Amino acid sequence: MSVRPAAKRSRIPEHKHCPICGLPMAVDADFCGESCRKTHEERLRRERRARNFSLLMYIAIMLMLFLFLFVPPLLQR
């Protein structure tokens, strides 16, 4: 494996890439622009809504199973 000289490694300035669009940006920035920040916030909002809906459905299904399996035998006594 060859080792690159230090001169070639320093040609590209330090940067990182935007997690939304992939464009290069400053190291201390979270997003490349306001539109990417809004896109990220909207994705987080949709994920949170979907997670809450899934939890609500899980609770509803468990409650219905409990009612159908355990309540009728109690009513027959």
For residue range 19-70, what is the model confidence (pLDDT) as tens digits? 999 999 999 999 999 999 999 999 999 999 999 999 999 999 999 999 888 8
63 located within any domain: yes
3 located within any domain: no
Look at the chain and report how many structural domains it folds into: 1
Confidence of residue 3 (pLDDT cuts 50, 70, 90): low
What is the extent of the structural domain holding 63? 11-75
pLDDT above 60: residue 8: no
4 located within any domain: no
1 located within any domain: no
Give the Cα separation of 31 and 17 in Å (integer).
Answer: 8
Give the Cα separation of 13 and 52 in Å (integer).
Answer: 42
